[in-house]
Amino acid sequence: MRTGWRVAEVIGVSQETRTARTLRLRLPGLTGHRAGQHVDVRLTAPDGYTAVRSYSVASALPGDELELTVEELDEGEVSPYLVHGVSVGDQLEVRGPVGGWFVWDPADPSPVQLIAGGSGVVPLMAMIRAHAAADPASPGATAEFRLLYSVRSPDAAYYGAELDELAGSDLLTVTYVYTREAPAGSPVPPGRLDARALSIAVLPVSANPAFFICGATAFVETVADWLVQAGYPADRIKTERYGGMGSTP
Amino acid sequence: MTDYLDGNAAAGPLSEFFAIDVTTARGRCLHCGRTDALATAQLYPNSHGLLLRCPGCTEILLRLVDTGDTVCLDLHGLSFVELHRD
């Protein structure tokens, strides 16, 4: 399942927010994947020009289907097509799912602290879904999960209803930080995450949590630095910065 | 701050060369000796491939050049690579 380009069929599309869409793909031969992995998507223009981008898998499905949530980027080469152009029945060239580093392992009993900046929530959602669906006998199935989700405004948040439902259980806590616009009646004004709010929201050093941080480069680096300064071991912090994979002539 | 990605995003391109996911392997920087998973390296994609730089000293660990017909891998910035069998 690791090498080479294969053809996936788009079998479902749903609007996630005003600027993001979730695509459900069927990839013949796929038998599940690890939570946190990504796929590379390659688009080829009629003149042979190709563009490749990496997208995190959002779902945690056991079979040959997976979901990607794609945020449209201004001046993007690939995301506008995936958000607006693709329809059910279309085919996409896909490589993966790949990546064995930024993944949650159900065999790991550690508590897990997830920290998302914007669309960086996508691979973390795969981990939350994998955790919710884990075999109850696996050591990680009863591990405490926390998500700290920094997002511009309530209507820019992905997976709202599903996160609300999952956060009703004992195993997941979700904390939102709204950077530009808070929900009506919120006691907390909108503003960027700071070191103090971070330290209140995340699992304590004594819990020795496994951290997964995903977002834009500046967000990821700032948050990881704060955590190290607060005494969390650097080798417990895994990061994924998002961006393009370049294009080939 | 120069914008770069994490080495784990190189898993796809490197899968053309390696039968396992080499981004989880630990590599030692030839220049400074830092040893860590390649997934933690700084990834700089460009129009014809990618560079992985050491997160410690920013020297080049690995270069991949893709011309379409051929793809070339230069590993000379790594003095060893260590795999863990699961």
Q: Where are the domains of chain B?
A: 5-82
A157 lies in a domain?
yes
With beta carbons under 8 A apart, name residues in chain A contacting B45. 243-246
String of DSSP letters for chain B: ----EEGGGGHHHHTTT-SS-GGGSEEEETTT--EEEGGGSEEEEETTEEEEE-TTT--EEEEEEE-SS-EEEE-TTEEEEE----
* Closest A-chain CA to B12: A98
Question: Average of pLDDT values for B14-26?
Answer: 92
Report which residue type is found at B15. S
Question: Average of pLDDT values for A25-50?
Answer: 93
Same domain, A89 and A124: no
Do A163 and A171 touch, CB atoms closer than 8 A?
no
Residues of A with a Cβ under 8 Å from any B Cβ are 2-4, 38-40, 52, 54, 95-96, 98-102, 217-218, 221, 239-249
Interface test with A, best of B2, B3, B4, B15 (most A CBs within 10 A): B15
Could you give the number of structural domains in chain A? 2
Report which residue type is found at B38. L
Give pLDDT, residue B2.
56
Same domain, A91 and A129: no
* Closest A-chain CA to B42: A241
Give pLDDT, residue A1.
40
For position A86, which CATH number holds?
Answer: 2.40.30.10
Question: Average of pLDDT values for A98-122?
Answer: 96
Interface test with A, best of B2, B3, B5, B70 (most A CBs within 10 A): B5
Same domain, A132 and A90: no
At residue B1, does pLDDT exceed 60?
A: no
State whether residue B21 sits within 8 Å of chain A by CB: yes
A132 lies in which domain range?
112-241
For position A125, which CATH number holds?
Answer: 3.40.50.80
> pTM of whole model > 0.90?
yes
| Average pLDDT score, chain A | 92
Give pLDDT, residue A246.
43
Which of A42, A69, A98 finishes a domain? A98
Which ipTM value was assigned to this complex? 0.89
B21-78 tens-digit pLDDT: 999 999 999 999 999 999 999 999 888 899 999 999 999 999 999 988 899 999 999 9
Give pLDDT, residue B68.
81
Percent of all residues in chain A with a pLDDT value above 70, rounded to a whole number = 96
The half-sphere exposure of A180 on its side-chain side, counting CA atoms within 13 A, is: 9
Same domain, A84 and A144: no
Give pLDDT, residue A243.
59
With beta carbons under 8 A apart, name residues in chain B contacting A2. 15, 19-21
